[in-house]
Structure 1
Amino acid sequence: MSKTIDSPEKWNRAEERFIDERVFLFKKPDYVESVVWRKYMPSLAEVHAWGCARQAEKRTTKQVWTYEGAATANVGDIRDIRTQHGDSVEVVHDPSDGQGDHHAHLQLRFGTDEQHIPQRRTDLKEAVLRLFTAVDRHSCP
């Protein structure tokens, strides 16, 4: 799986690092984040080409949106995330939204105990972020 990284929202260009709290948001009500499933878009060059196409599209409305590269993690490692509450992260193939066969979601799944969901969401976000460590930087032409 690869997560495309853009600035200024997810990448601090001055410090050359993630803006940790912005890379994965997992917002209510669905608690999902879009990712590129490398099973369907195997090469990083393809991911970068897609990111550059996205940059061109975004710049029609946001002049400062820049594709910075992609961070990659192993699907099995993501699926192995489990907390003491039975919380986990599900990988869901979702080509139906028109973004292509490579489109997938990471979706937070909470155990049966519904207490302390905000903190548990934060714990899962941090576990996911730890797996997506390095950004393979790219500059679009």
Structure 2
Amino acid sequence: MVEEIPSDDQVSRHVDSPDKWNPDEKRFVDDRLFMFKSPDEVESVVWRKYAVHIDDVHTLGCRRQGDRRQYRPNWTYEGAITALVRNIRSIATQYGDRFEVVHAPDEGVHHAHIEYRLAETKQYIKQRKLDLKEYLRRQFGDLDLHECPDRPAI
């Protein structure tokens, strides 16, 4: 059953390497942290109502790592970043572009989406998308690093 996510709740974003985190440089791959390749594409997050503690978020991330490594052996869960839903929903441009956070339990009761809501105007659309992704990134805190138990030794 789909639930309304209150603005006072938190969501966490799983961060992996090599796609979203550069472990050698210890920094985000900024243009890949939130992609939104098309207007109807969403970005997945963990609703903290159902993963209350950061360790719960990490458990889900490690489970994801196990699944992904079946076809991408170098895929590694690195940790999570967390934001307040209200802060994500408060992002808006002068054109009316914004984000929404919605429950999407198709992948588990904890699963939610950040949806990209672009205004109808086509003016400066490429720059608007870049700006929105940067505003979104700023709403999330620092990476809470985690090492899954089955991580190979370097």
Q: How does 1:48-63 map onto structure 2 within 5 Å? A: 48-63=58-73
Matches within 5 A, 1:38-77: 38-77=48-87
Give 1:32 shift: 1.3
Give the structure-2-normalised TM-score: 0.86
Identity %: 53
Q: CA deviation at 1:29?
A: 4.3
Query: Using the alignment, how far apart are the partners of 2:146 and 2:56 within structure 1?
Result: 12
In the other structure, the counterpart of 2:7 is: none
SS of equivalent to 1:73: strand
Equivalent residue number for residue 103 of structure 1: 111
Q: What is the DSSP-based 3-state SS (H/G/I as helix, E as strand, rest coil) of the residue aligned with 2:79? A: strand
Size of the alignment, in residue pairs?
139
Q: Return the letter of the residue paired with 2:26.
A: E
Q: Which runs of 5+ in 2 are unaligned?
A: 1-10, 150-154
Alpha-carbon distance in structure 2 between the residues aligned to 1:59 and 1:105 = 23
Greater Cα shift, 112-121 or 64-73 = 112-121
Q: Distance in 2 between matches of 1:86 and 1:7?
A: 33
Q: Which runs of 5+ in 1 are unaligned?
A: none
Partner AA of 1:134 in structure 2 = D
Partner of 2:26: 16
| In structure 2, distance between residues paired with 1:115 and 1:94 | 31
- Partners of 2:39 and 2:116 within 8 A in 1: no
Task: Report if the CA contact (8 A) 1:25-1:33 is conserved.
Answer: yes
Instruction: Report the Cα offset of residue 133 of structure 1.
Output: 3.2
